[in-house]
Amino acid sequence: MPASVWPAIDGIAYGGDYNPEQWPREVWREDVRLMREAGVNLVSVGIFSWALIETSAGVFDFDWLDEIIGLLHENGIAVDLGTPTASPPAWFFAEHPDARAVNRDGVVMGFGSRGMASHSAPAYREAAIRIASTLAERYADHPAVVMWHVHNEYGVPVGEDYSPHAQRAWRTWLQEKYGSLDALNAAWGTAFWGQHYGVWEHVGVPAAAPSVVNPAQRLDFARFTDAQLRACFVAERDAIRRFSSLPVTTNFMANQHHGCDLWAWAREVDIVSDDHYLWAADVEGEIGLAIAADLSRSVGGGKPWILMEHSTSAVNWQPRNIAKRPGEMARNSLSHLGRGADGILFFQWRAGRSGAEKFHSAMLPHAGTESRVFREVVDLGAKLNRLAEVRGSRVHADVAILWDFESFWAQDLEWRPSEDVSHDERIRAFYERLWRDNITVDFALPGHDLSGYKLVIAPAQYLLRQADADNLNRYVEAGGTLVVSFFSGVVDENDAVHPGGFAAPLEPALGIRVEEHLPLRAGVTTTIDVGGASHTADIWHEHLVVSEAEVRATYVDGPGAGMPAVTRKRHGAGTGWYVSTRPDAAGLAAIMAEVYADAGVAPLDAPAGLEIVRRTGDADDYVIAINHAATDAELALEGVDLVTGRAARGTLEVSAGDVAVIRTPRTAHGSGR
């Protein structure tokens, strides 16, 4: 059955994971009463309930589930019904001990946690399809159920699996991919260290070995793992679709787990949904949040998405779990909404007394309703209720940053030139500059149609297929501005260095060749000269050979002393920039100021700490303003604040730590995605 596009809920979806099976029935009545008080209109039910729904193979107990879904329905709360396949029951592993995942060191995963199944085990797949279809058949037409939540966070805690079932599936996958051993030997470069294969049965999973395992083999294993997980999702989704036309999703972990290629996954779900948790160690966690939100929107092609989980306050799984301060939960929520989320949900509704997550915050905390968190939850529900008309509006971006999971998989393998080089760090650095300038960003793949963007940034495109490099060269030739940061364009899809050397495929657009990488020792800082001003740079220099580009910054000292550090080439109607080191924030700002001028993009004139995003509706625009600063802020704007009902007549005032959503006349946009 074809899936409908958006779940039948009025306005912005609001709620969280709900685990009633952990509570006696009298608590359920209190739950639904308090959910109504908080404005909750959607809860995800049953995500970890397999053992209580299918009590032994093929034996089902739906009484409790019928009852709670009925109760939710009576109270006007819609259900996002989970398939509980992220945590198979004890009976399943007792019957199928071989269906347990095995880690890279050969350790077989034990019971008593979650996620220990091998996604390649036929018994697991069969059981997962059985429970998904049984649930779909039973609840497809239940008026409370509005969407399906398949599994939970594919890839975590188990992604790569080295079990015998995975081994068999891996060989089949390789045979389909390569057709012949000759092709496999060539792609993996097995002439190196004598790894040549003469018989398929000798090709193994890249388990722990005495030294570094063939990087092309490991890269393929990352692809295989992603494909196996995705096949599990697709099998459950299709089982559901036999009975139901409701939208099907599974919760991603954009920007927190790179094991799943979300570009491919987003094509399989009806609605993108994402889980996001702040990294407590990051004092500006709102920037990482914005990356995750922009990525969630981008992988879904710009369509509205659902924030399936975030936290009202602290999580419980980081080294130091920092509680959110007053107003922070609303700021986080509105930032997601500003970046395209039409649903704001949490893990979880009621804090659990037992189990591994009892120190995790919830909408209803252990402290009960007389608590700051619950009061803020009620207040957020009321705010979101006033934002119903924002639903369905879109976010426009003139700038794209390249985000390529496959390249991350390759770059993260062993024996790279410097352990200091991180794709996450480089993406964050460039993104951060744009975030501070309030320039909205989409993420994209290097092979996408980029023609709608004025500026494309490649902060970490280590793996770059020749065809994708050609696409980037054409983008510049046709008038785009491209910025490429170091350690990009280095290898092809088999982790083999490009013929012609590092970055050779981008020479048409950039006009440089990278003769040698010159990584720096730990803690060493050097100086670069950017247009006459000195800035520091660290971790990496390069020996650049300029074939046809202007030098915009030079190494003053360090191993690259006297050589070009940053270059700019006019190519066709566009411009290609290359940044061969890691400048400090001021140095990057100086470089980006020139890049902006080339691209025709401009920072928004707003006080520091005021995050501004714009959503465009059919009739109006909505400006979402989030004040992260400790001081009140003003912005020139005309419209009505939907949060307070107050008019902004020429000036919008946003108090320290507060949020505003202004309905304002619609602006025309260029041809961005």
Catalytic residue IDs:
153, 309
CA–CA gap between residue 507 and residue 482 (Å, rounded): 12
DSSP reduced 3-state for 18: strand
Query: How near is the Cβ of 319 to ligand GLA at its closest, in Å?
Result: 14
CB of 80 closer than 8 Å to CB of 148: yes
Query: How near is the Cβ of 99 to ligand GLA at its closest, in Å?
Result: 21
CB of 349 closer than 8 Å to CB of 15: yes
Which residue from 149, 360, 535, 571 is in contact with ligand GLA, where contact means CB under 6 A?
A: 360
Spell out, one character per residue from 330 to 359, where the chain touches ligand GLA: x when CB under 6 A holds, - when not.
-----------------x---------x--
Which residue from 153, 160, 406, 495 is in contact with ligand GLA, where contact means CB under 6 A?
A: 153
CA–CA gap between residue 646 and residue 579 (Å, rounded): 46
Distances (CA, A) of 535 to 116, 520, 584, 586: 49, 16, 7, 7
Q: Which is nearer to ligand GLA, 149 or 383 (CB)?
A: 149
- What are the beta bridge partners of residue 311? none
Q: Which is nearer to ligand GLA, 276 or 628 (CB)?
A: 276
Query: How near is the Cβ of 310 to ligand GLA at its closest, in Å?
Result: 9
CA–CA gap between residue 50 and residue 58 (Å, rounded): 11
Q: What is the b/e burial string over 599-617, where b = at least 16 CB atoms within 10 angstroms of the residue's CB?
A: bebeeeebeebbbbbbbbe
DSSP reduced 3-state for 459: coil
621 is an interface residue for ligand GLA by CB under 6 A: no
Q: Which of residues 156-185 bind ligand GLA (CB under 6 A)?
A: none
294 is an interface residue for ligand GLA by CB under 6 A: no
80 is an interface residue for ligand GLA by CB under 6 A: no
Which residue from 226, 261, 275, 376 is in contact with ligand GLA, where contact means CB under 6 A?
A: 275
Query: How near is the Cβ of 357 to ligand GLA at its closest, in Å?
Result: 6
277 is an interface residue for ligand GLA by CB under 6 A: yes
Query: How near is the Cβ of 72 to ligand GLA at its closest, in Å?
Result: 19
Order across the sheet with 659-665: list the strands.
394-395, 610-616, 620-627, 659-665, 633-641, 647-654
Q: Is the peptide bond before 195 cis (omega within 30 degrees of 0)?
A: no
Q: Which is nearer to ligand GLA, 117 or 537 (CB)?
A: 117
CB of 349 closer than 8 Å to CB of 311: no
CB of 466 closer than 8 Å to CB of 500: no
Query: How near is the Cβ of 46 to ligand GLA at its closest, in Å?
Result: 12
Q: Which is nearer to ligand GLA, 117 or 588 (CB)?
A: 117
Query: How near is the Cβ of 266 to ligand GLA at its closest, in Å?
Result: 18
CA–CA gap between residue 520 and residue 249 (Å, rounded): 45
3-class SS letters over 404-436: CHHHHHHHCCCCCCCCCCCHHHHHHHHHHHHHH
Please give the full DSSP string across 299-343, using - where no structure is assigned.
Answer: HTTT--EEEEE--SS--SSSSS-PPPPTTHHHHHHHHHHHTTEEE
Q: Which is nearer to ligand GLA, 18 or 405 (CB)?
A: 18
Binding residue count for ligand GLA, defined by CB under 6 A: 9
Which residue from 160, 161, 294, 309 is in contact with ligand GLA, where contact means CB under 6 A?
A: 309
Q: Which is nearer to ligand GLA, 18 or 622 (CB)?
A: 18
Query: How near is the Cβ of 114 to ligand GLA at its closest, in Å?
Result: 8
315 is an interface residue for ligand GLA by CB under 6 A: yes
DSSP tally for the chain: helices H, then strands E: 17, 29
Q: Which is nearer to ligand GLA, 153 or 404 (CB)?
A: 153
Q: Which of residues 189-208 bind ligand GLA (CB under 6 A)?
A: none
Binding interface with ligand GLA (CB under 6 A): 152-153, 275, 277, 309, 315, 347, 357, 360
